[in-house]
Amino acid sequence: MKSQNSLAILTFVLMLVALYAIFIYAPTERTMGPIGEVQRIFYFHVSSNWTTFLATFFVFLNSILFLMRGTRELDIRAATAAELGTIFGAFGLISGTIWAKPIWGIWWTWDARLTSFFLLWLILIGYQMLRRVVDSPGQRARLSAVFGILAAVDVPIVYMANRWWRTQHPAPVIAGGAGSGLDRQMALTLCITMVAFTVLYFYLWKLRCELERTGDTVEALQRRLQTQGLEVR
């Protein structure tokens, strides 16, 4: 409990710092005129995307470990990572759209990054759907671990394939690489936000895993109660 509390405080503090940096410290984007303030959503967008990738990595890692060791704890970690990945991913997609429209005039473009990110998000949803439709808990863990590994290996390949495809069929790219030509204050703000989001991710992950473990305990107790309740003495 204690470590959770200190993590909570750390998260809170960092997010405050990040918010300050985003809204007050970072300069307004000059080249975009009066709507330049909208650009600030960029910090949330990039950080959300980063967190999604982080989550996917943990799905991958925990899936492999689960196949090797078979403990419920690893299964919990993989599943909750996927959940958080989906949420941060949705946030990333939405913030990206909100940012793109006023500045570039389009809601969406099928450039390599956006396309592969969208696909990653769909894969994470697919992973969760898979978990929902398997009834046996042991199988659920194993099957989603296998899918998690296949999908995680696939994601960078999808990105590369899209990139190579796009070099032949160029399309508008929203915000050339992240950090291309960012002024120092903005770069610093981005770093702070990414760190804050990372810590937030770990905090939420910890909470969610704890929730899952509690759920398991409750289930076990329920089963024991059932057994004892029916015993004829």
Partner 1 sequence: MHTDSYTSALRIENVEKWFGQNSALEAVTIEVRRGDFMVLLGRNGAGKSTLLRVMARIVKPNHGQVEICGMDVRRNPEAARRRLGFVAHSSYLYRHLTARENLRFFTRLYGLEDQEQRVQAALKWVGLEASSDRPIVGFSRGMQQRLAIARATLHDPEILLLDEPFSGLDLEAAELLAAWMKRFAASGKTILMATHDLEHGLEGVNRWVFLDKGRIVEELTGAYTVVRDRYKQFLRERKGELS
Partner 2 sequence: MNFLNQTAAILWKDILTEYRTKDALTSMLLFGLLVILMFHFAFEPDSLETEKYGPGLLWMTFVFAGILGMNRAFAGERENDSLQGLMLAPVDWGAIFLGKMLANFLFMLVVETIILLSFTLFFNFDLLHRLSWMVTITLLGTLGFASIGTILAAISMNTRMSDVMLPLLLLPVALPAVIGAVQATAAAFTDPPGEALTFWVKFLVVFNIIFVTLPLLLFEYVLEE
> For partner 2, which residue of 10, 38, 65, 67 counts as binding (CB under 8 A)?
67
Task: Decide if residue 231 touches partner 1 (CB under 8 A).
Answer: yes
Task: Decide if residue 221 touches partner 1 (CB under 8 A).
Answer: no
Residue 214, CB-side half-sphere exposure with 13 Å CA sphere:
6
> For partner 2, which residue of 57, 147, 187, 209 counts as binding (CB under 8 A)?
147
Contact 66, 78 (CB under 8 A): yes
**Of partner 2, partner 1, none, which one sits near residue 145, judging by CB under 5 to 8 A according to partner kind?**
partner 2
What is d(CA 157, CA 183) in angstroms, rounded to the nearest whole number? 32
Contact 51, 143 (CB under 8 A): no
> For partner 2, which residue of 90, 119, 178, 182 counts as binding (CB under 8 A)?
119
Task: Decide if residue 158 touches partner 2 (CB under 8 A).
Answer: yes
Chain-centroid distance, C-alpha 228: 43
For the record, the structure tokens of 44 come out as: 């949330």
Of 45, 55, 63, 177, residue with least CA distance to 121 = 55
For residue 7, the minimal CB distance to partner 2 (Å) is 33
Q: Binding segment for partner 2 among 47-55, 97-105, 124-132, 209-217 (CB under 8 A)? A: 124-132
Task: Decide if residue 149 touches partner 2 (CB under 8 A).
Answer: yes
What is d(CA 103, CA 229) in angstroms, rounded to the nearest whole number? 65
As to burial, measured by CB atoms within 10 angstroms (0-12 exposed, 13-18 middle, 19+ buried), residue 143 is middle
Of 147, 150, 115, 114, residue with least CA distance to 128 = 147
Q: How many residues bind partner 2 (CB under 8 A)?
A: 30
DSSP code of residue 36: G
Binding mask 189-208 for partner 1 (x = CB under 8 A): --------------------
> For partner 1, which residue of 141, 155, 196, 200 counts as binding (CB under 8 A)?
141
Task: Decide if residue 71 touches partner 2 (CB under 8 A).
Answer: no
Task: Decide if residue 168 touches partner 2 (CB under 8 A).
Answer: yes
Give me the residues that bind partner 1 (CB under 8 A), please: 70, 72, 136-138, 140-141, 216, 219-220, 226-227, 230-232
